[in-house]
A and B are shown apart, each in its own frame.
Chain A
Amino acid sequence: MQDRSTDFEFLPIDVSFDRCLRYYEQLGVASFAKANNTTSFWTSFNFRKRKRGNPTVSLLTTSFSVSEWGVNNFATTSGTIVNSYLTNNDAVYVQLGGFTGTSAGTTGTVTSTFGVSNGLDPIIAFNSEL
């Protein structure tokens, strides 16, 4: 057995980043959201990289929107996670709460609040760290 550590292994940034994504990632815009009652929307997020285990889901901000483009914009500053579950190893369903004025069946796109980055800031984190 060696009595000293091995030399540091230099890896290309893209390889290191890819490996990091197995443990943690942040995502912003979700592809689709559908209201299932007056206060919450179901949406799904696809991981860029499969996680090492079922991740903890947490919000990075309580301010985000669901936009029915050209029709309505449902914004909240007190957003919550109501529920979530892993649909397969590569995606998770998340129920986002804290909205008002929606009705079951309303659809739209989840984004962070517009202004700083045109709504493209990440809003949610998936943590599967050891």
Chain B
Amino acid sequence: MYKFPQLMPNQTEPSCILRTTDGACIPFDLANRDYQEYLKWLEEGNTPLPADEISE
């Protein structure tokens, strides 16, 4: 399972995806093997969870 991260104030789209099993932050880089696994997971019809709400 994966989850979108909270965006930084200067970010308009996420730069990574969070893997919920271990909390790792996986960048959107085709050279990254964890990202390749994420893409395969998406191809299987899965959808990431939305980002947590930002606490102030």
Residues of A within 8 A of B (CB): 36-39, 52-59, 80-86, 94-95, 104, 127-130
Residues of B within 8 A of A (CB): 5-9, 11, 14-16, 18, 22-29, 31-35, 52, 54-56
Closest B residue to A103 using CB positions: B56
Chain B interface SS verdict (over half): loop
Closest B residue to A62 using CB positions: B23
Tell me if B31 and A53 are in contact (CB < 8 A).
Answer: yes
**Closest CB of chain B to A45's CB: distance in Å?**
12
Tell me if B55 and A55 are in contact (CB < 8 A).
Answer: no
Closest B residue to A57 using CB positions: B25
Q: Which residues of A contact B52 (CB under 8 A)?
A: 82
